[in-house]
Structure 1
Amino acid sequence: MDVSTLGTACAVPAACALVSGCARGPAPAPSLAAESAPPIAVMAVEPYGGLLYVRGVVNRDSAWLILDTGTSHTGLDREWAWTAGALPVAAPGAPATQVAETASAAVVDTMHLAGLALASYQVALYALRGVSEASGRPERGFVGHDVLRRFTVEIDYREQRVRLYDPARYRYAGSGTVVPFAAGDDRPLLHGSITVPGRPPISARLLLDTGASGLCLILTVPFVERYGLAGAVSPAIEAPIGTGLAGQLRGTLVRLKELRLAGLRVASPTTGLGGERTGFLARSDLDGVIGNPVFEDARLIVDYARRRVIIEPRAAARCDYDMSGLRLTAQGPELRHIAVEYVVPHSPAERAGIRVGDELLLIDGRAVADASLSDVRRALRVNGALRRLVLRRDADTIRVTLQLRRLL
């Protein structure tokens, strides 16, 4: 298999959701896999905010790109793509003077990922400003299905490594949980089931989406409506459940009783029930997406050629949902201003009088401008902790104390 250069490819891009946590029960000890050949490429992972970033070089510009099994086509932020020297692909009928403004795709001379080189490669163009504000860092793009499907992809969450193998030479000899792809699909669309209290398990087609963080699951509106899930689980929080390419995703946050993937059981998974037909929430070709929190600390193998996913859990992990009631975003040219986008009703934040639009300045005496948005969110997910916050509201400075508690 010649992997030094991957030729031009084109596919229809799908939405990538960045979502905002998941609890698992005790996990069995992992089994080691035996491969008959070394990996073609090994990429270091920079974990941030529940996402997996790998280093890429586009033409001659270096950038951290999200490893995203849920996005059909590798893509770049459209504004950053021009600075990196990408050439727009003219949209049909577009005036010659508006090619860059109307293009939905571009071609890069080269894209390097560890030891791989993609030459004259067509990428999708995305407007990623909203995603950047939600994550708190400038997002440059994604490595999507069109690249990943050529390999057997091993993601080691604990070691923070991604290994790409030649599928023709890959052999698995471990004892991990094997979950087949849905029939007739080359995406990691997995058959699983969910359980809500008082009902039998409900079968679901769930897309493995490493571009989804924070929540274990997000379920689409057609699926939620078909099974009457809205109102079937309590407690429930009416709130944004994430941010995607189409903007903010709204719905209801709950913990289901259980998620099952073949022999793997995930207890009390944090779940977003889609409430508006926006972006992928309106899709009927899948029932939802499975995010990174399900696989925290695990080794995950996506074997596209054999149409299966293999999961090797390790020690139990817990990724809780926010305990303050604050949904925060990063604002300003350099994303250094942390603003309140939403306040959960009846939460510690609402009871302290915090409002939408307030700017967070300090947590326990430390300036949030000197921290990442991911670190700020982590500080607000400690059950029972007292946090002293200083905020700016117009010309006023506001000081409050929050006692964090589980909202789900």
Structure 2
Amino acid sequence: MPAYAQRKSTPAVTTDNKKPLAVIPFQLIDKHVVIPVMLSGGTDTLHFIFDSGSEVTILHTKTAEKLHLKAPGQAYMSGTNNAVIKAPVATINALYLKELRLPYVNANLEDLSDIGPIDGIIGVALLKSYIVKIDYRQQQLLLYRAGKTPIGNTGRLLHFQLNFTTPVIDASIQLPDGRKLPGHYHITTGGDYGILFNWPYVDKNKLNTLLTTINTDRVQDMVKVLYYINSSIPLLELGGHSLRDVPVSYSKDIDDLGVFTEVAGAIGYDIWKQFTLTINYDKKELYLE
């Protein structure tokens, strides 16, 4: 007689996100969130900027030389005003954040000497692997298992969209003449500014004629020297919060294209430092506490 067997169903595994997988202390260096990192083959603790707006991982060329890390390939990168340049690319066998391991991370090799004592930059590679909570008050980065957003968030839930791989949030600004302008803004935790406007948005809304210049900056980019004009706006409305006297900047060479919609600019450290952020990249959720 034939015999029939039935495999027992495996109970669904529930993700317990009550506790973080790792709590990583960070330093604030020139408005950048800098976290300790170790790479496979190295024994020294390195210092990486965590920037949610960084679509690629970057390793300082001098650090790569110390680690004898070779770059067998090249990749195309968007530079100033979407100019495309080639950059050497190396594969890091493993990147360690305390006890957590990110395997096979591709890193573009660039000279980061102008930033300061920094070995690299990491953004989306970390966001895709974990749920990331940035606690500016305690200066801690808390990493949770990807999945459901951890319970206990008391802040406002905002849903974001992706522009290529960079999170984009909706916000509204008030101009000196009283007008309010809605817009879509990149979430850039590594941006050393309040708001950095894209030039087409500035030109379209005549912001360069409405905003009073406070000072200017001259900054060397990957491709050329950029000239920034710094000003302020009376009000930024974001996720139910109203922030006054917000520092803003713009340059004729800054234009981050939107894949589906117009991107007004990027929101950086001077705004985010006032909150605790929880970013769930997979679920496209941002909590502001």
TM-score above 0.5: yes
Q: Deviations over 1:36-64 (max 9, x none)?
A: 43111211111222111110012313211
Q: What CA distance in whole angstroms lies between the structure 2 residues aligned with 1:246 and 1:206?
A: 24
Residue 51 of structure 1 corresponds to 32
When normalised by structure 1's length, the TM-score is 0.59
1:284 pairs with one of 257, 265, 285: 257
Tell me how far apart the structure 1 counterparts of residues 231 and 26 of structure 2 sit (CA, whole Å): 30
Question: Which residue of the partner structure matches residue 77 of structure 1?
Answer: 60
Counterpart of 1:182?
Answer: 161
Match of 1:218 in 2: 196
- Using the alignment, how far apart are the partners of 1:243 and 1:293 within structure 2? 21
Q: How does 1:7-406 map to 2 (within 5 A)?
A: 36-59=17-40, 60=42, 61-91=44-74, 104-131=88-115, 137-182=116-161, 187-213=166-192, 215-234=193-212, 236-240=213-217, 244-246=221-223, 248-274=225-251, 276-277=252-253, 281-285=254-258, 286-312=263-289
Structure 2: distance between partners of 1:297 and 1:183: 23
Q: Deviations over 1:20-51 (max 9, x none)?
A: xxxxxxxxxxxxxxx84311121111122211
CA distance, structure 2, for counterparts of residue 202 and residue 176 of structure 1: 24
Q: Secondary structure, in 3 states, of the residue corresponding to 1:230?
A: helix
1:233–1:148 distance in 2 versus 1, CA, 3 Å: same
Cα distance between partner residues in 1 of 2:162 and 2:99: 33
Report the CA distance shift for 1:173/1:138 in structure 2 as closer, same or farther (over 3 A).
Answer: closer
Unpaired segments ≥5 residues, structure 2 = 1-15, 76-85
The one-letter code of the counterpart of 1:125 is L
Aligned-residue identity in percent: 20
- In structure 1, what is the Cα distance between the partners aligned to 2:52 and 2:168? 10
Distance in structure 2 (CA, Å) of the matches to 1:224 and 1:292: 21
Q: Partners in 2 of 1:39 and 1:223 — Cα distance?
A: 39
User: Is the CA contact 1:182–1:191 (under 8 Å) kept in the aligned structure 2?
Assistant: no
**How many pairs align?**
258
Counterpart in 1 of 2:9?
none
Letter matched to residue 282 of structure 1: D
SS in 1 for 2:236: strand
Letter paired with 1:258: L
Give the AA of the match of 2:140: R
- C-alpha deviation, 1:186, in angstroms: 5.0
Q: Give CA-to-partner distance per residue, 1:384-408, whole Å, 9 cap, x none.
A: xxxxxxxxxxxxxxxxxxxxxxxxx
Aligned-residue CA RMSD in angstroms?
2.3
Structure 1 residue runs of 5 or longer lacking an equivalent are 1-34, 93-101, 132-136, 313-408
Distance 1:243 1:268 in 2: 27
CA distance in 2, matches of 1:299, 1:264: 13
